[in-house]
Structure 1
């Protein structure tokens, strides 16, 4: 039996790949073979089996997801999922998850539980926190915010206090849920690459500070980000709770969204930061770190200290 016949027989056990997926997987496999060399004493047929299985595994590791092609539910194929397609799936997931969530009253609180890991670049040391916060829906009541383990009892929001994007539910309810209109707002009416970067950062800010998103706004945010040119994916992301996910980021931006690799549900945000000191009128940055903020629980409650 020749090698090609052996490969065809062995490949019968592996779901068929698209041409793009096969090419990408073959490059990864060839690189791995060059790095490792042929194992001593490994039979040629077994090496072929490892190669075929490795091709499929490399495709999955490279971000290939199982989808149906040509409308035939009986013929699964492996196809690449783009960052925009992933965000649209995340939007669908958000709408489905929020369909039964009641609209909060102004006298209620947003409860969030967030798990944070921070790893410092210089020495690799890691810190972790589990933060719980109760935020007044309309800002008229005191809130309790836990930030990196420290509890802050915040007074009611002042009438002239400015925060963007806003945290008040009534203010967010005025925001458009049409992705095109929302993207324009996130770009702050500017254009070009810097506007795209600002739009991506502003979209991530929705999820950094606890807030209740009105119906459809979270999904619209993901769909707006899907329209930003240059967004990309990292298929090997793991959030702070150890959940496997896919990151969506923008080049040279310090933020990234993390979505569940199976359900496409939102898991958290990844960011790069540092400590800044003002010296002689200029900021000096030091203690750079990588941080993961994973959303563990979220809900609407009637009082501070209550959990959903």
Structure 2
């Protein structure tokens, strides 16, 4: 369901009412601007055949490359042979760090909910007015990005080097066994279908093509309810955090239709515990406004970083909000940054300048 005229009128009325209840924006608040389209975050696993062909070390290298492309993989957390980099912790931190959390101070204050509602409404308005980057079913979404992993195999968080990568994601409809390519460190490897998808991975949360995204509800409440239906459930998780991360995978890493992007930002405003952080920083050191949420079970805060001028997505960062087995409160737990996003006709080909 993409929303009827009545649904759109109700949606607009809700937004107007929320805006009326909020205090006037101070002059130093962020101006509305164009919401840039973002790289796609797919949660696909390099299949076992590739892992066996390249050996465990090679598979781990592929996994790190895919993480640097901004696609943390929830399914990898269920496989103990893999590392648990910070991007994956941000997606399902309760499963990885929950048991290790120590008693101690609670999450730091990150701002009031009225402030974050203002920012998200402005992001929604900017997104709804943006021009959609055209992309056909036979094209690929190209992303160049960088970031750092955290290695937890020693029992402590060890920060990895900043690594740049490029990715190409197919927009083909229907189930696909080959989803694109990823390149890092001079090596290019295929992105295969989700583990278990023997007939190929269909468009959806794990493969958010532009065509699929355009079918999503645009009403924020309906959108949040739909994400609650399609986001995998894990015992003991913070469900609100799971929804925050699920939507974040699209807000930060997918090519979004304007109406879908607008609805997603307002859906995030409905999630309890979401706050604004004024001094967020991405992997390139670019400062911006942050939209954040603390996973109190795991002790991990995830921040999405947006440009303070035009509200475009810059990247994400993560750190501990309390002492855990892996580190102390405030310790860095991974980050990323988007450098370039474009549409290309062929996988492996860089966009023209």
Q: TM-score, normalised by structure 2?
A: 0.52
Contact 2:205-2:230 at 8 Å conserved across structures: no
Q: Does 1:217 align with 2:248?
A: no
Counterparts of 1:220-259 in structure 2, within 5 Å, are 220-252=263-295, 254-259=301-306
The farther-off stretch of 235-244 and 119-128 is: 119-128
Distance in 1, Cα, partners of 2:261 & 2:184: 23
Counterparts of 1:227-306 in structure 2, within 5 Å, are 227-252=270-295, 254-271=301-318, 290-304=333-347, 305-306=349-350
Q: Specify which of 28, 33, 56 is matched with residue 66 of structure 1.
A: 28
Q: Does 1:196 align with 2:240?
A: yes
Aligned residues: 219
Match of 2:211 in 1: 170
Q: CA deviation at 1:130?
A: 1.2
Q: Specify which of 104, 126, 132 is matched with residue 93 of structure 1.
A: 126
Q: Specify which of 136, 139, 146 is matched with residue 170 of structure 2.
A: 136
Q: CA deviation at 1:146?
A: 3.5
Q: Which runs of 5+ in 2 are unaligned?
A: 1-25, 31-111, 232-236
Q: CA deviation at 1:156?
A: 6.9
Q: CA deviation at 1:134?
A: 0.9
* Higher fraction of strand: 1
Contact 1:135-1:211 at 8 Å conserved across structures: no
Higher relative contact order structure (alpha carbons within 8 Å, sequence separation ≥ 6): 2
Match of 1:115 in 2: 146
Contact 1:118-1:289 at 8 Å conserved across structures: no
Match of 1:206 in 2: 250
Contact 2:127-2:258 at 8 Å conserved across structures: no
Distance 1:150 1:235, change over 3 A: farther
Distance in 2, Cα, partners of 1:95 & 1:160: 33
Contact 2:201-2:207 at 8 Å conserved across structures: no
Contact 2:123-2:265 at 8 Å conserved across structures: yes
Distance in 2, Cα, partners of 1:153 & 1:260: 32
Q: CA deviation at 1:165?
A: 4.4
Q: Does 1:154 align with 2:191?
A: yes
Q: CA deviation at 1:212?
A: 2.6
Distance 1:119 1:197, change over 3 A: closer
What does the per-residue CA deviation read over 1:199-237, in whole Å, with 9 as the maximum and x for residues that have no partner?
A: 1121112256x5332332222211110121221122121
Distance in 2, Cα, partners of 1:170 & 1:194: 30
Note the aligned Cα RMSD (angstroms): 3.6
The farther-off stretch of 120-129 and 83-92 is: 120-129
1:217 is paired with a residue whose SS is helix
Q: CA deviation at 1:160?
A: 4.8
Distance in 1, Cα, partners of 2:207 & 2:283: 26
**After TM superposition, which residue ranges in structure 1, 4 or more long, deviate above 4 angstroms?**
119-126, 139-142, 147-150, 155-160, 285-289
Q: CA deviation at 1:170?
A: 2.8
